[in-house]
Amino acid sequence: MGTLNCDNCGGFSKCTNACYMHLGKALVDFITGIDVVETRIGEFSSTKMGGKLDLIVSGHQLYNDGESGWILTDISTTIDSSDKFKSAYEMNVFQIATKYLERTEKTPEEKDEILNKIRQINKNKLFIVPFKPNTMCIIEYNDGHTVVNRVDAQIHSIRWSNNKENHKFDITVLFEVENMPSKIQKHNISTYLDKFSLAQIDMQTRTPKINTKIISIDNNGIIKPIIFKQDNIQIAVDGSYVYQINSQGISIIGVWGTGDKLYMNNSIKLKAIEKLKDNETFIKCHRKYIAPYMLYEPNVIEV
């Protein structure tokens, strides 16, 4: 599948293989594009000033004044710090990024910054922040008595808390609402577009051709690469490229270019591509947070 060796890769204009160079480009685009917050996850603390270290920072909260809070729990709390990304061509994302960066014009400092960001994300020292405090949203309101759809709300804070079962983090988005009995509402980040949406993209979500299921965000704060599956052919989309996967392998058939425009090989006619085009603007609004294809579990949509 695909081509591993692409030492003469001349970029998208010369090579349309899903080679490690293109994977590296998609990965570096993603890593440099996303906003993150520094955490103190894994640091030890004490219940008493100067006392025995009996607590660990196991969670984080980012507030609407830009300040952060730390969630402390018992020192025995297990925290998963396994890689957030998948390997490809027998290389992990760190190795793929390194290989790609060797061939770019970036300065050593820029390269270090990118590699460090990958390392820190994997170690939970940086959390990805796809939604920012103070952003206007439309949410489902539920105070235990009343459920109201489509209530205006503003993001109050984002909370990462350690999940006792899988030891990973759950992301809760907290909202402030006005003129309702309960001022604070909470939704897990994975319910985005089901329980809450950004006011800015709300009009789009109510357009008949838009399929909101294509955007699936997980508790890493990452949007899964999208696959439109039509029988034995798959069309995959991430924040950098569009890929076609069939019995011959994987090839790149589109690229997000200047001006946020999607340039596609127009000779391929498929229902899966029509679906992609119908949702192009909607995907574009989210593309910064879409993980690179092959390096992250995809969200498969049957067409």
Q: Does 9 bind Zn ion (CB under 5 A)?
A: yes
Name residue, tokens 């899966």. Answer: 272
Q: Does 23 bind Zn ion (CB under 5 A)?
A: no
Q: Does 19 bind Zn ion (CB under 5 A)?
A: yes
Least Cβ distance, residue 196 to Zn ion (angstroms): 40
Strands lying side by side in the sheet with 226-230: 262-264, 249-256, 241-246, 233-237, 226-230, 299-302
Q: Does 177 bind Zn ion (CB under 5 A)?
A: no
CB nearer to Zn ion: give 21 or 226.
21
Q: Which stretch binds Zn ion (CB under 5 A): 19-27, 78-86, 137-145, 261-269?
A: 19-27
Interacting positions 137-156 with Zn ion (CB under 5 A): none
Cα radius of gyration (the chain):
21
Member of 21, 93, 250, 276 binding Zn ion (CB under 5 A): 21
CB nearer to Zn ion: give 15 or 115.
15
Member of 15, 115, 233, 285 binding Zn ion (CB under 5 A): 15
Least Cβ distance, residue 101 to Zn ion (angstroms): 15
Question: How many whole angstroms separate alpha carbon 23 and alpha carbon 295?
Answer: 8
Distance of CA 123 to the CA centre of its chain: 16
CB nearer to Zn ion: give 19 or 214.
19
Q: Which residues bind Zn ion (CB under 5 A)?
A: 6, 9, 15, 17, 19, 21
